[in-house]
């Protein structure tokens, strides 16, 4: 018999710990991008930042055994397609929905499996 915790929607986390600040920042930045002009070229640096941040969330989701957290890297594939020269943001509806969905995923991750315990002061 294994002592390993089973996978769950939000994984194992300390409910008394505070929400993860970096994931909250990623959520706000992504949501803010939803209101920029989709007709202009999307900044490659923002795409790279979202992909790297999503990979970080995916790694922590694996550690916490959260299947919900694994949706974040999957959602960031839209930005990878954009970096590869495809145009997934041709429609304003896709532009808005993709940003809002990823922002909500980052926010949910910040308040669930990515919670951080305060460090002990010496």
Tens-place pLDDT, residues 39-63? 777 788 989 999 999 999 999 999 9
6 belongs to a structural domain: no
Tens-place pLDDT, residues 80-112? 988 888 888 888 888 899 999 999 999 999 999
10 belongs to a structural domain: no
30 belongs to a structural domain: yes
Q: Give me the number of domains the chain comprises.
A: 1
For residue 13, pLDDT beyond 70: yes
**Residue range(s) defining the domain that contains residue 98:** 21-110
CA dihedral over 104, 25, 5, 75, signed as positive or negative: positive
67 belongs to a structural domain: yes
5 belongs to a structural domain: no
Q: Given this model, what pLDDT does residue 86 score?
A: 84
pTM above 0.75, yes or no: yes
| Average pLDDT of the residues of the chain | 86
15 belongs to a structural domain: no
Give residue 7's Cα distance to chain centre.
Answer: 19
122 belongs to a structural domain: no
68 belongs to a structural domain: yes
For residue 64, pLDDT beyond 70: yes
Q: Strand, coil or helix: what is 68?
A: coil
Torsion of CA 20, 23, 29, 34, to 10 degrees: -130
For residue 2, pLDDT beyond 60: no
């Amino acid at each position: 018999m294994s002592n390993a915790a089973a996978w769950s929607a939000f994984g194992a986390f300390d409910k008394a710990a505070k929400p993860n600040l970096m994931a909250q920042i990623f959520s706000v930045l992504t949501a803010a991008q939803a209101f920029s002009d989709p007709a202009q070229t999307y900044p490659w640096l923002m795409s790279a930042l979202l992909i790297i941040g999503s990979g970080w969330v995916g790694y922590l989701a694996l550690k916490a055994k959260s299947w919900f957290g694994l949706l974040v890297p999957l959602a960031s594939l839209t930005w990878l397609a954009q970096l590869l020269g495809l145009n997934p943001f041709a429609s304003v509806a896709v532009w808005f929905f993709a940003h809002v969905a990823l922002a909500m995923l980052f926010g949910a991750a910040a308040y669930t499996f990515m919670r951080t315990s305060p460090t002990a002061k010496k």
